[in-house]
Chains A and B, each alone.
Chain A
Amino acid sequence: MSILELQNVSKSFDGTKAVDGVSLGFDQGKITALIGPNGAGKTTVFNLISGFLRPDEGAISYQDKNVAGLPPWRRAQMGIGRLFQDVHLFERMSVKDNVLAAFKNKFGESALMSVIARRKIEKKERTHITEALKLFDFVGLTDKANELAENLSYGQQKLLSIARLLANGAEFLLLDEPTAGVNPQMVGALLEIIRRLTKEGKTIAVIEHNMNIVIEIADWVYFMDEGQVVSFGLPSDVLGDPDVRRAYIGL
């Protein structure tokens, strides 16, 4: 059952169509991979879904609600989480603070309440800290809790990103090349985390260049080239398609 859909979405930059009449759907609880050569428009699609770009044409709906006009922060509050290629952590804050900042905390994040309702806020902080520790366990960053985010290795930074998304209550995760630049030992851990997330009912969209990983974890694949969806289906079918092989050099 489709939890997020793009219908005929287009986006141009300076006259070039980065995304051209694209229609895709992401099924709930499944891992959908977006593959294709560089410049095919995959990250643009992610930007369109997460709200950092607005479509020129077409409709984007999440849980049957039209989201195309909503700013990124609104979509995040609805449950759309984004993992960026260039990580985007709060570098000079600790791992713990990175995650604590990610919790949905409308009441606590108020200047007025910080002065007059201190005790209530501190109580909530304590629950968040407990949950944060659970998340650290989940991603394997427990011993780095007080480390500054900028001091983590690239792979650890990605794990932190995921922990933040989970703290934020993301139900639909957009993972932009999650394994890129991560050392091989950690890749396995990452994939395991991704699988466990779907078992908990989360939906994953992943941009991946490593075809082995795509075959290993994707339930469904979209192949994009030059802004369009050229092929889609089960990983083995799409990757076995000669057109895809031809367009995607290095298979």
Chain B
Amino acid sequence: MNYLLHILIMINIYMILALSLNLLVGYTGMLSLSHAAFYGIGAYISTLLIMQKGIGFIPAFLLAIAGTTLLSFIISIPSLRLKGDYFVLASLGFQIIIFTILYNWVGLTRGPYGIPGIPRPNLFGIEIDSILSYFIFSGIIAAFCIIFLYLIGDSPFGRVLKAIREDEIAAAALGKNIVRFKIIAFAIAAGFASVSGVLFAGYMRYIDPTSFTLMESIFIVSIIIIGGTGNISGPLVGTALMIILPEILRFLRIPDAIAANMRQIIYGLLIIVILRHKPQGFSGEYRFE
């Protein structure tokens, strides 16, 4: 039962990551490889505030979102003027730079040693310390995030994002300030990613930079490629699929030593096959083309 709850908690965490990246990739058409960086920044900001400054969970949570969103401007403002391919490369560069900082600024983050002993969230005196309660807690947060992201996407704002994805020139000729919309979309995506980070830290009770690497960014991108983008169901389906799949391998008694590799091979194959034969993913609206 705990095992099942663990899976569901991870699904909650990754759903938020996938849906927020979807706003950037599926709606606005910008492929970002730096999502894991914001995931990590959220985790570190909240953890450090709670453990070193003694700040309560809720303020730390909110400050983590604010901090990550502000940091996103440092990345987005210079690079959002870059064209397609170059933007992807810049986002890749930022991802690696942020990882390197998290890994090497040992004085701040304890680098590769990680931060253990992260307390479970304490809301108004109630400590969320059982797996079941964490599942409910993360589920409620995820539900709110899904609702917010849905409201943001299914609106005139979301429509402008899609217009930008379809044809920037036309959107500009119709009076849309392209760069401003992109910066806002990027900030929203980063903010929600940080929510996942806070949830992750509070659940695992230990974080280190190796959870927030380039490969992790690529993993999140794969979720929305495979599940589909441009709508709500795609990322949800993708998350469920990608989280449950490795567990199926475990059931097949594949030795742990090669299970990790096996999992990656399946991801890689899925990416290739989906892009070749079903570019809208299992359940998406926007065809990668």
Contact = CB atoms under 8 A, between A and B. Distances in A.
B168 to A, nearest CB: 9
B107 interface: no
B167 A111 contact: no
A10 interface: no
A62 to B, nearest CB: 14
Interface stretch (A96-104, A180-188, A209-217, A232-240): A96-104
Contacts of B166: 89-93
A99 to B, nearest CB: 10
Interface stretch (A1-9, A18-26, A72-80, A191-199): A72-80
B173 A109 contact: no
Interface in A106-130: 108-111, 113-115, 118, 121, 125
Interface residues of B, number: 29
A88 B175 contact: no
Contacts of A113: 157
A111 B162 CA distance: 14
B219 interface: no
Interface stretch (B42-50, B53-61, B148-156): B148-156
B177 interface: yes
A250 B162 CA distance: 43
Given A81-B173, A101-B159, A168-B174, A115 B167 contact: no
A92 B286 contact: yes
B184 interface: yes
A42 interface: no
B159 A97 contact: yes
B207 to A, nearest CB: 29
A158 to B, nearest CB: 13
Contacts of B158: 114
B278 interface: no
A88 B166 CA distance: 9
Interface string B178-216: 100100110010000000000000000000000000000
B163 A108 contact: no
A153 interface: no
A52 interface: yes
Nearest to A124: B156
B162 to A, nearest CB: 6
Contacts of A43: none
B167 A89 contact: yes
A248 interface: no
Contacts of A109: 156-157, 159-160, 176, 181
Contact of B174 (A74, A101, A111): A101
A88 B173 contact: yes
A50 interface: yes
A100 B155 CA distance: 11
Contact of A76 (B162, B163, B175, B286): B175
Chain A interface size range: 35 or more
A154 interface: no
Nearest to A83: B173
Interface in A160-190: 164, 168
Q: Which of A84, A88, A104, A121 has the most CB atoms of chain B within a 10 A radius of its CB?
A: A88
A92 B159 CA distance: 12
Nearest to B188: A111
Contacts of A100: 156, 159
Contacts of B157: 108-111, 113-114
A82 interface: yes
A108 B167 contact: no
A52 B166 CA distance: 18
Contacts of B171: 73, 90, 101
A228 B173 CA distance: 26
Contacts of A102: 174
B132 interface: no
B152 A89 contact: no
A110 B160 CA distance: 10
B162 A114 contact: no
Nearest to B286: A92
A71 interface: yes
B173 A72 contact: yes
Contacts of A88: 167, 169-170, 173
Given A73-B176, A91-B167, 9 more contacts: A72-B172, A73-B174, A76-B174, A77-B175, A84-B169, A90-B166, A93-B163, A101-B171, A125-B156
Interface of B: 148, 151-152, 155-160, 162-163, 166-167, 169-178, 181, 184-185, 188, 286-287
Interface of A: 50, 52, 71-74, 76-77, 81-82, 84, 88-93, 97, 100-102, 104-105, 108-111, 113-115, 118, 121, 125, 164, 168
7 contacts: A73-B177, A74-B177, A76-B172, A90-B162, A105-B156, A121-B155, A168-B174
